Amino acid sequence: MSEKETTAVTMKKRGQFKDIRRRFAKNKGAILGLGFIVILVVCALIPSVIAPYGFDDQQLSRRFQSPSWNHLFGTDEYGRDIFSRVVYGCRISLTLGLVSVTISCVLGIILGCISGYYGKVVDNVIMRIIDIMLSIPNILLAVSIVAALGTSFFNLMLAIGIGAVPGYARVVRASILSVKEQEYIEAARSNGASDWRIITRHIIPNCMAPIIVQATMSIASAVLSAAGMSFIGLGIMPPTPEWGSMLASGRAYIRDYWYVVTFPGLAIMLTVFSINLLGDGLRDALDPRLKS
């Protein structure tokens, strides 16, 4: 009995994980994305080992040096090493992107599920609130949240996260509306499943594709909105290196010293790109229907 028990469970586990891994490994783009993200995570974990200088080592005598072996990405207006600042910035920007996206994802999925599944009055109330939120410009919403709660890193992430909730709620609601009419949902109900179980086990897994796409896309906009917030002084305070604020402060010198904005910009772009690749790969690998 126990032997059979273990075989049944391991068979199932191995079957699923092996398949997902195999399908993921086949996707070259996803592997590339994963590789770059691993590098970023390493940078975020041990920046002091990788960066040759500190993030706030100022030396005015070597300001605006162009990229060389000493300063890979050059130096900025205070003579700080841009490469080191980009490496240190990893931690802030990655945390910011992931946490704010998680906040908006979770809130958006909850709201979207409730309004899509229960419909009627609940749906109307939630969607009208969402409409109101959509009518407020994102940056204004974030500014008011930070202004109300006070300037801190967490409040910044919260503000950016809340601003992105309406997008998720609408995407989730739309896909739930189509999934909940499927016969297997009725079948699950005929088997005695509760609403909670139907939502978590049958509906959400079937709506994952648009959610993953939305999540990977919005990490980028989260990093950029944080830059905007830093720019008006409600976000990350200098000298903390954050890619968005590095872009904002280097903006004034873009005409003469291209490298001041290029490298932080490239970092954002590559991060977003690799997260998108990873997200696409995950979506395909997790969808059993695409198994070949």
Is the Cβ of residue 50 or residue 177 nearer to other proteins in the bound state?
177
Identified binder of other proteins from the candidate list 11, 45, 147, 237, rule CB under 8 A: 11
First to last CA, the chain: 34
Residue type, 72: L
Binding mask 203-242 for other proteins (x = CB under 8 A): --xx------------------------------------
Q: Cα(77)–Cα(62) distance, rounded to whole angstroms?
A: 9
Q: How far is the CB of 120 from other proteins (least distance, A)?
A: 9
What is the C-alpha R_g of the chain? Answer: 23
Would you state the torsion angle of the CA atoms of residues 105, 26, 273, 47, taken in this order, to the nearest 10 degrees? Answer: 90
205 vs 233, beta carbon nearer other proteins: 205
Binds other proteins (CB under 8 A): choice among 29, 42, 57, 197: 197
Min dist CB 201 to other proteins, Å, is: 7
CA distance 97 to 192: 40
189: contact with other proteins by CB under 8 A: yes
Q: Does 28 bind other proteins (CB under 8 A)?
A: no
C-beta of 61 vs 190, nearer to other proteins: 190
77 versus 287: smaller Cβ distance to other proteins: 287
Closest approach, Cβ 2 to other proteins, in A, equals 9
Long-range contacts of 76-80 (CB under 8 A, 24+ apart): 76/246, 76/249, 76/250, 76/260, 77/249, 77/250, 77/253, 77/260, 80/53, 80/55, 80/56, 80/239
Return the SS3 of 216. Answer: helix
Q: How far apart are CA 191 and CA 62, in angstroms?
A: 72
For residue 188, list its beta bridge partners. none
The alpha carbon of 237 is separated from its chain's Cα centroid by a whole number of angstroms, namely 22
Q: Which of 4, 150, 196, 255 binds other proteins (CB under 8 A)?
A: 4
* Dihedral sign from CA coordinates of 97, 100, 104, 105: positive
Q: Minimum distance between the CB of residue 287 and other proteins, rounded to whole angstroms?
A: 7
Size of the site for other proteins (CB under 8 A): 30
Q: Rounded to the nearest whole angstrom, what is the least distance from the CB of residue 131 to other proteins in the complex?
A: 24
Residue 198: left (phi > 0), alpha (psi -120 to 50), or beta? alpha
Q: Is residue 196 close enough to count as binding other proteins by CB under 8 A?
A: no
* 121 in contact with other proteins (CB under 8 A): no
Residue (92 or 204) nearer to other proteins, CB: 204
Does 12 interact with other proteins (rule: CB under 8 A)? yes
Q: Is there binding between residue 62 and other proteins (CB under 8 A)? A: no
Residues 6+ apart with CB under 8 A from 6: none
Q: Is 22 in the site for other proteins (CB under 8 A)?
A: no
Name beta bridge partners: 75.
81
The interface region with other proteins, picked from 6-14, 235-243, 257-265, 269-277 by CB under 8 A, is: 6-14
Binding interface with other proteins (CB under 8 A): 4-6, 8-9, 11-12, 15-16, 182-184, 186-194, 197, 201-202, 205-206, 287-289, 291
